[in-house]
Amino acid sequence: MLTYVGKGYSPEFARNFDGIVRRLAAGEEALLVDGPDAICAPLCESEGACAHCFGAAVLGRDQRAAQELALLLGRPLGPGSRLRLDVGLLSRMRTAFASGQIRGACAGCEWAGLCTGIASTGYEGVRLRMPRVAEGSGCGAETA
């Protein structure tokens, strides 16, 4: 999510992810789940319990990601936890990702190199941008 630039497993995957990014940017909470999430579930429907999202390696990466993010946020996270992104939280998460602080889940991931490259450019081209109200007027919007 932090490094998503519109690339993925298929055009359908990217369209679904684009929709999720729009909802998060509009203020919808992210819900942590055990197993396939809203991003991956459509890919797994045809495979059922054999889907890669139920594999030990993927579940382990999800657990590592939740543990590292919990440490960063200073609160427990697990299935059922909710996060509402804002400019500050997204910036904090991206800074931690770029520094390697929350990269344990990237070990063995086929997308790790792509994500590292995106983070190294200051997240150029990412699709998830949070609107930021311009200071002073209380209206207008920038993005971060």
Is residue 3 in some structural domain?
no
Other CB atoms within 10 Å distance of the CB of residue 144 = 13
pLDDT tens-digit map of 44-95: 776 665 566 667 788 888 899 999 999 999 999 999 999 999 999 999 999 9
Is residue 114 in some structural domain?
yes
* Strand, coil or helix: 15: helix
As a whole number of angstroms, the distance between CA 84 and CA 123 comes to: 20
Is residue 1 in some structural domain?
no
Is residue 5 in some structural domain?
no
pLDDT tens-digit map of 13-55: 899 999 999 999 999 999 999 888 898 888 777 666 556 666 7
Is residue 61 in some structural domain?
yes
As a whole number of angstroms, the distance between CA 58 and CA 47 comes to: 15
Instruction: Give the chain's domain count.
Output: 1
pLDDT at site 9:
75
When pLDDT is cut at 50, 70 and 90, the band that residue 137 belongs to is very low
Higher pLDDT, residue 99 or 134 = 99
Mean pLDDT of the residues in the chain: 87
Q: What angle do CA 60, 83, 46 make, to 5 degrees?
A: 50
Is residue 63 in some structural domain?
yes
When pLDDT is cut at 50, 70 and 90, the band that residue 8 belongs to is confident
| Residue 144 reports pLDDT greater than 80 | no
Domain of residue 22 covers: 11-143
Is residue 136 in some structural domain?
yes
pLDDT at site 92:
98
- pTM score, whole prediction: 0.84
The one-letter code for the residue type at 68 is E
* Strand, coil or helix: 83: strand
Written as six digits, the tokens of 72 are 């960063």
As a whole number of angstroms, the distance between CA 121 and CA 63 comes to: 27
Is residue 4 in some structural domain?
no
